[in-house]
Structure 1
Amino acid sequence: MTNDGVINGSSGGYGGYEDERTFAALPPARGRGFAQTWWGRAWLKALEDTALESEQLKKGRRQARDGAVGAVSVRPGRITAVVRDRDGTAYRSDVLLQELTGDEWHRFLDMAVDRAGHIAALLDREMPPHLVEDAADAGVELLPGIGDLEPECTCEAWDLCPHTAALCYQVARLLDQDPFVLLLLRGRGERRLLDALQVRSAARAEPSAAAPKGVPEGVRADEAFAAAGILPPLPAVPRLPAEPGLPPSLDTETAPPQGIDGDVLEFLAADAAVRAHRMLAEALGAVGGQPLGELPGDPVLTAGQDAVRLAATARSALPAEVAARLAAGSGRERSGLELAVRAWRFGGAAGLAVLADDPVPDEVLARAEAQLAQDRDEGGRRRSRAAGAGRWTVPGAQAQLRVGADGRWWPFTRSSRGPWTPAGPPAPDPASALAGLLPEA
């Protein structure tokens, strides 16, 4: 049983969505009304307006109050429960309500996504009057009206009997807790309904080719705070957490769908948390000095560069599957990814470009040659010799200098037979770049 009293839900044949919910028997309702919400009271009004004999309602209300109604099953078009008389005789009781048609559901969903407040209300398990009124304006009646509730009972009463009346009173209590009970009775379960709303909301959010040009898409938060003096009161600036939040754990007993890797998703979630924390820190730094200016943004990276960034900024050791996928995404073997990670940590995308020997403008190379001409050892000899465009090695020292497209100098080292490896951050001149590699520099 779940916390909301649901015993189970069965998946029907409609795309795997739930089409039935069963609620545990509720305790006696002594000393309280059956409906606290307005939609619960509207349900009872439909019941009471339908009843031909008030005596049957009184008996049913008494049975429901005494706890005579068992577990209640709710599915499209029907609610069912076993109701017991005082002598213990059990009767199966059903109450039927017409399901909405497909066209009515389309109109309801279109109406809901047009007003964000309606979706928020449903997520909060509320059914405010304006939602029902707007649905009615769209030709969709959610709440039952006079004569809409059709009773059936094994006591063989031809109309409403105490057992079906007791069931309706119990359903009013369920509706108080969760208006999705009514929506399921009308034909759509909660998950199916929310998924449909999400799909429609996403479709509405996509820019349309026919949309008029020049329509503003919103205001940046920093711009809004900068104009705080001429705007209505804004919410308080959020506080920066001490560290990025932890991603949710996806380690469950249920196997993920084919092609989905939980370790990879957790890794990406952790990276998103780190970036969000940094962006908030940058934004709050700007907020501290009004007016706010343009906040710094991340450079646009290629897929290969971003794979290296992900590996370089990981907060913990990479799982084997994650490391393998990042290496493949970067277009490198595992050893090549390790070199790229080292280059990224020293200089980001610029470090990767130098590692890959990306072309350097001729004017930068000419300026680099001029700088090297002045870089000599204590004996007056040049300490490096050309090893290719933009590369100069230091004989006998297993050290190399590379110049980047921006004119900065990058130090590299290597073991006797290993690859050239980034050895530090860039420097403005050759001597500074070699300072950490050569004792005499």
Structure 2
Amino acid sequence: MSAHAKTWWGQQFIAALEDFTDSGRLARGRSYSTDNRIKQWVLQKGKVEAKMRGNINPYFGVYKEPTYKVSVQMTHLSEGQWQKIIQKLSQRASFIARLLLNEIPENIETVFTDVGVHFLPNDYKDFNVSCNCPDYEVPCKHIAGVCYRLAGQLDQDPFLLFEMRGLAPEKLLQELALSPLGKVLSDAKSSAAVDTQPVSSFYTRPVLTELPKEIRLKDFWQGQLPLPKSLEPGQAATVPAMLIKKGGDFPAFWQKQNSFIDVMEDFYLRMRKATLKGL
């Protein structure tokens, strides 16, 4: 597994690059994805334009540290193709739910296949790249470094893949929100953050009341008031754990390889068990 990509879509993005690139060249390219090498990084409308710090290399006639300009872009799908794809995505509640929670469904390619295209890159034809370094091979280590850096950003923002394919994320969200489920999830995703309040306990503590001076045995066992004949049903949350799921499996602050959502689900499960034991 590449340390530069944690999600399955980030991994496949790198896998496409590795399929048609020399492994030794890619190994050198990984070291060019760091802040020490990248002097400038601009990502607009699905195109990355970066300035990379190169090496002195007398063999190529380079006698002082150079700065190379690198651009990486994926080929765009047409407007007509996107209209068909969005229509098919809107018909699947599972796709809408995953996309609006910053995740890409594992079977999303089936939708693109029905339209006769593919979403994630398959080979070098899906990339438009350039670099003004003297290395004639494509991709060079500078382009590879940008691609590795880009894979890390795809982990945090999967909608960037749609943008790189020619569809603005805002338009995708607007189209998905037209469906009933999409509207619910979209409203929850874009809602303001909920203010948190400090509490002294993880569960509702009983409220103490003063006992009457005289207690009859009958009242003690049967109570003074009759029990309600029916209880109002509890209302489940419309979108459980939305605050946690908003950031997706790998939010910007999460640097580990495992999913942040999975970790939080395990944490809450263990906390619930511990709380129940203390009751």
TM-score bracket for the superposition, by shorter chain length = 0.5 to 0.7
In structure 2, the CA distance between the partners of 1:118 and 1:157, relative to structure 1 (3 Å rule), is same
Q: Give the C-alpha shift of residue 164 in structure 1.
A: 0.5
Structure 1, residues 162-207: CA drift from partner, whole Å, max 9, x if none? 11010000001001111111111111222121112224x26x99xx
Tell me which residue corresponds to 2:49: 80
Q: Give the C-alpha shift of residue 143 in structure 1.
A: 0.4
Gaps in structure 1 of 5+ consecutive residues: 1-31, 206-246, 249-284, 291-441
- 8 Å CA contact retained: 2:75, 2:128: no
- 8 Å CA contact retained: 2:46, 2:160: no
- 8 Å CA contact retained: 1:75, 1:187: no
Tell me which residue corresponds to 2:133: 155
Q: Distance in 1 between matches of 2:175 and 2:128?
A: 29
SS of the aligned residue for 1:129 comes to coil
1:96-107 counterparts in 2 under 5 A? Answer: 96-107=73-84
Q: Give the C-alpha shift of residue 141 in structure 1.
A: 1.2
Q: Distance in 2 between matches of 1:289 and 1:81?
A: 59
SS of the aligned residue for 1:174 comes to helix
Q: 2:33 aligns with which of 61, 64, 72?
A: 64
Q: Give the C-alpha shift of residue 85 in structure 1.
A: 2.2
Q: Distance in 2 between matches of 1:64 and 1:183?
A: 22
Q: Distance in 1 between matches of 2:53 and 2:98?
A: 36
TM-score, length of structure 2 as denominator length? 0.57
Tell me which residue corresponds to 1:172: 151
Structure 1, residues 6-35: CA drift from partner, whole Å, max 9, x if none? xxxxxxxxxxxxxxxxxxxxxxxxxx8011
The structure number with the bigger radius of gyration is 1
Please tell me the residue identity of whatever aligns with 2:154.
Answer: L
Please tell me the residue identity of whatever aligns with 2:11.
Answer: R
Please tell me the residue identity of whatever aligns with 2:175.
Answer: A
Instruction: Count residues with an aligned counterpart.
Output: 180
Q: Give the C-alpha shift of residue 99 in structure 1.
A: 0.4
SS of the aligned residue for 2:104 comes to coil
Please tell me the residue identity of whatever aligns with 1:40.
Answer: G
Tell me which residue corresponds to 2:10: 40
Q: Distance in 2 between matches of 1:289 and 1:168?
A: 55
1:245-324 counterparts in 2 under 5 A? Answer: 288=231
Structure 1, residues 353-409: CA drift from partner, whole Å, max 9, x if none? xxxxxxxxxxxxxxxxxxxxxxxxxxxxxxxxxxxxxxxxxxxxxxxxxxxxxxxxx
Gaps in structure 2 of 5+ consecutive residues: 57-64, 184-190, 193-227, 234-279
Structure 1, residues 52-72: CA drift from partner, whole Å, max 9, x if none? x33321211122156422453
Structure 1, residues 34-90: CA drift from partner, whole Å, max 9, x if none? 111110010001111122x33321211122156422453334453221111256522
- 8 Å CA contact retained: 1:41, 1:172: yes
- 8 Å CA contact retained: 1:127, 1:179: yes
Please tell me the residue identity of whatever aligns with 1:112.
Answer: L
- 8 Å CA contact retained: 2:32, 2:146: no
Deviates more, 1:38-47 or 1:134-143: 134-143
Q: Does 1:118 align with 2:91?
A: no
Please tell me the residue identity of whatever aligns with 2:49.
Answer: T
Please tell me the residue identity of whatever aligns with 1:154.
Answer: N
- 8 Å CA contact retained: 1:69, 1:170: no
Structure 1, residues 233-272: CA drift from partner, whole Å, max 9, x if none? xxxxxxxxxxxxxx97xxxxxxxxxxxxxxxxxxxxxxxx
Q: Does 1:49 align with 2:19?
A: yes
Q: Distance in 2 between matches of 1:59 and 1:90?
A: 17
- 8 Å CA contact retained: 1:74, 1:181: no
- 8 Å CA contact retained: 2:40, 2:52: no
Q: Give the C-alpha shift of residue 107 in structure 1.
A: 1.6
SS of the aligned residue for 2:51 comes to strand
Q: Distance in 1 between matches of 2:95 and 2:40?
A: 30
In structure 2, the CA distance between the partners of 1:198 and 1:71, relative to structure 1 (3 Å rule), is farther
Tell me which residue corresponds to 1:185: 164
Q: Distance in 2 between matches of 1:289 and 1:152?
A: 64
Q: Distance in 1 between matches of 2:230 and 2:69?
A: 65
Q: 1:109 aligns with which of 61, 65, 86?
A: 86
Please tell me the residue identity of whatever aligns with 1:117.
Answer: S
SS of the aligned residue for 1:96 comes to strand
In structure 2, the CA distance between the partners of 1:149 and 1:100, relative to structure 1 (3 Å rule), is same
Please tell me the residue identity of whatever aligns with 1:125.
Answer: N
- 8 Å CA contact retained: 2:50, 2:69: yes
SS of the aligned residue for 2:42 comes to strand
Tell me which residue corresponds to 1:133: 110
Tell me which residue corresponds to 1:229: none
Calculate the aligned-residue CA RMSD, in Å.
3.0
